[in-house]
Structure 1
Amino acid sequence: MKSDARRRARVRLDERLRVLQPVDRFRPPPKGWIRALRDALGMTGAQLGHRMGIRPQTVEAIEKSEAAGSIQLSTLRRAAEALDCTLVYALVPNSSLDETVDARARQIAMRDLQRVAHTMRLEAQETSGSDFEARVQAYIRDRLSERDLWSEA
């Protein structure tokens, strides 16, 4: 089943990314990684510029753009290579990917079923809370496709 394969892929990806938690360990220094590494190595801006084949003023602009969060990945990669480093790039989910999918499915089911519940209340046909939870689970299981979770309705 396609959704089972997707779930296994999410679990594998979560396992790979778990080593990056907590992400605050990787928060860049105030002036950025390039400047921090260059300073730690005792390398001047002119020396880094020479290694990158650019002017010292451009090194300063690159360091400022990294600190501001506007640097291009290709530029960051070139600077990393000139500093004898490897650029590591990752998107780290705030919760497990399964939890994200489950929460989104629940959000959609609740939204859709709340509309029906409201109509039923108006018609004095309200159901119990436990029945509503069972309907939410059934709605997720029977009506929602993972591909539909991310379309805005």
Structure 2
Amino acid sequence: MKSDSRKRARLRIDERLQALRPIDRFRVPPKGWVRALRDVLGMTGAQLGTRMGIRPQTVDAIEKSEAAGTIQLNTLRRAAEAMDCTLVYALIPNSSLEAAVEIRARKIAIRELQRVAHTMQLEAQGTDNDDFEYRIQTYIRDQLSERDLWSDT
């Protein structure tokens, strides 16, 4: 089943990304990584430019674009390589991927079940709140596919 393989894939990625937590360890220095590393290596902008095959003024522009968050990944990779570094690029979820899917499914299920409950109350056919959690889990299992989770309709 596709959802089972996606769940296994989410769990594998969650496990791999766990090593990168807490993410505040990777907060970009105020002037950017290129400038910070260049400075601690004792490398001038002109020297980095020579190693990258660009003018010193372009190094300054690269450092400013990184600090502004507008640098292109290939430019950052070239600068890293010129300083004998490796660019590491990752998207780190704020919670686990599995938790994100579960939270989203639960939110949709509750929204839909509350609509049904409201309609039934209007028709004087109240629903029992005692089994609400069971109905949420049943709705998630029987009604939702993972593709439905991320449509904002």
Class of the TM-score when normalised by the shorter of the 2 chains: over 0.9
Partner of 1:26: 26
What whole-Å deviation, never above 9, does each CA across 1:62-102 have from its counterpart, x for those lacking one? 00110111100000000000011000000011111111001
2:93 is paired with a residue whose SS is coil
| Matched ranges for 1:126-141 at <5 A | 126-141=126-141
What whole-Å deviation, never above 9, does each CA across 1:93-126 have from its counterpart, x for those lacking one? 1111111001111111111111111111222222
Letter of the aligned partner of 1:6 in structure 2?
Answer: R
Deviates more, 1:114-123 or 1:29-38: 114-123
Partner of 2:35: 35
Q: What are the ranges of 5 or more consecutive residues in structure 2 without an aligned counterpart?
A: none
State the distance in 2 between where 1:91 and 1:147 align. Answer: 20
| Matched ranges for 1:69-108 at <5 A | 69-108=69-108
Letter of the aligned partner of 1:22 in structure 2?
Answer: P
TM, length-normalised to structure 2 = 0.96
State the distance in 2 between where 1:123 and 1:133 align. Answer: 23
State the distance in 2 between where 1:42 and 1:32 align. Answer: 16
Letter of the aligned partner of 1:23 in structure 2?
Answer: I
TM, length-normalised to structure 1 = 0.96
Letter of the aligned partner of 1:87 in structure 2?
Answer: L
| Matched ranges for 1:45-84 at <5 A | 45-84=45-84
State the distance in 1 between where 2:68 and 2:78 align. Answer: 18
**Number of aligned residue pairs:** 153
Letter of the aligned partner of 2:30 in structure 1?
Answer: P
Letter of the aligned partner of 2:96 in structure 1?
Answer: S
Tell me how large the CA RMSD over aligned residues is.
0.9
State the distance in 1 between where 2:126 and 2:63 align. Answer: 61
Partner of 1:8: 8
Partner of 1:144: 144
Letter of the aligned partner of 1:121 in structure 2?
Answer: Q
State the distance in 1 between where 2:24 and 2:4 align. Answer: 32
Letter of the aligned partner of 1:99 in structure 2?
Answer: A
Percent identity, aligned pairs only, is 76
State the distance in 2 between where 1:45 and 1:92 align. Answer: 31
Partner of 2:44: 44
